[in-house]
Amino acid sequence: MYDIPLMRPHLPDAAREKVLEVLDSGYLTEGPVTRRFEEMCCDWLGVGHALAVTSCTTGLEMALRALGVGPGDEVVLPDYTYPATATAVALVGATPVVVDVDPATMLIDYEAMERAVTPRTKALLPVSLFGNPVDQGRVDAVAREHGLRVLEDAACALGASFGGEKVGGMADVSVFSLHPRKFVTTGEGGLVTTNDPDLDAWMDSFKHFGLDREASREGAVFSMVGSNLKLSNLQAALGVAQMEMVDELLARRRELAANYLDLLAGTGGVELPATTPGGEHSWQTFCVLVDGRDEVMARMRAAGVEAQIGTYALHLQPAFRDNPAVRLEGDMAGSRKAFDRALALPLYHTMTNAEQERVVDTLREAVR
């Protein structure tokens, strides 16, 4: 246990009450509470459709299938990301084409992304990493030029925006995570959003075993082979309670990030990643870049402050490095720099100024 943990999920009192209401109702599987959660997400994000699913990973896989991605297709994605981004592509039988990232933002290198496009490319899969939104204009320009679909891995980007528009409605499909490290969590789960009613209808059917809702008015009709990606009422109850205060949760996160930025100003040996020009960060994760990251992290942990790596460089992982079904493009210098240097600092709703000051003091001492 750490004096200051990396994160603490913030569950308001209403969350307990809503979970107990579901338990008392006896309706534990997906139902009206899940639908309410989806509706609240739609309204807040300003999107046409939202589907709550079992995880961000299964949501990405479902979205790829909805976009018609499969064997023989290629999907371009960044090297610096959680493995789930590439795993979802491999699971549908397509080829993950992995490219470098911009070392300043740690987001996909847009020029490398375009260079990796071939006649087999079916979709682009950029990642709005840590809550920093991708430059949707640059992604869309490549997609239009080559006739590609765009699926955004928005796992950490709930509340982020680009050009004044919230992440979730700019790509063909966006997929969010509801893991406990996210400031809106259902324990495990994901949220898939789109403005395309046809994609929504296909995914809604797929997540319910292939059920054809139009043909099922007088009895269940299953028109395709689907899966079971339902999010239960129990899990959704947590999400509803948090969505009722989502503006407060997001504002607090940004307040904490701003305080970190003030405290870290002028700190030698600590570099701050850049935010996408025209973007507004949601600060799901507050990362700094330091030399000797593993040693710094170990010193901080020994001092009672939990710190963590940012995420992973796929080209260093055997599942992708040694896989002939994965195409690695470029030397991955930007990704390697991010992987070697990115350090995530504690960030949670109830964090105090004193705790943030201790984190920064501990970081400075560890860097020395």
User: Could you please report the per-residue DSSP string of 58-97?
Assistant: HHHHHHHHHTT--TT-EEEEESBS-THHHHHHHHTTPEEE
Distance CA 333, CA 270 (A): 20
State the angle between helix axes of 233-243 and 32-45 in degrees (0 to 180), rounded to the nearest 10.
30
Distance CA 119, CA 117 (A): 7
CATH topology of domain 1-368: Aspartate Aminotransferase; domain 2 (3.40.640)
Contact assessment for residue 347 and residue 7, using Cβ atoms and an 8 Å cutoff? yes
- One-letter amino acid at 25 equals S
Distance CA 108, CA 77 (A): 7
Strands of the sheet with 279-280, listed across from one edge: 165-166, 161-162, 279-280
Q: Tokens representing 178?
A: 């509801």
Alpha helices in 265-316 (DSSP H): 293-302
The pTM for the full model equals 0.97
Question: CA dist 208 to 7, 217, 228, 232, 368, Å?
Answer: 33, 15, 5, 12, 55
Determine the straight-line distance between the first and last CA of the chain, rounded to whole angstroms. 25
Residue 195: how many CA atoms within 13 Å on its side-chain side?
Answer: 12
* CA 167 to chain CA centroid, nearest Å: 11
Tell me the sheet residues that pair with 192.
51, 175
Distance CA 191, CA 60 (A): 10
Q: What is the pLDDT along the chain (368 residues), one digit of tens a residue?
A: 899 999 999 999 999 999 999 999 999 999 999 999 999 999 999 999 999 999 999 999 999 999 999 999 999 999 999 999 999 999 999 999 999 999 999 999 999 999 999 999 999 999 999 999 999 999 999 999 999 999 999 999 999 999 999 999 999 999 999 999 999 999 999 999 999 999 999 999 999 999 998 877 778 999 999 999 999 999 999 999 999 999 999 999 999 999 999 999 999 999 999 999 999 999 999 999 999 999 999 999 999 999 999 999 999 999 999 999 999 999 999 999 999 999 999 999 999 999 999 999 999 999 99
DSSP 3-state of 351: coil
State the angle between helix axes of 246-264 and 233-243 in degrees (0 to 180), rounded to the nearest 10.
60
Q: What is the pLDDT of residue 161?
A: 98
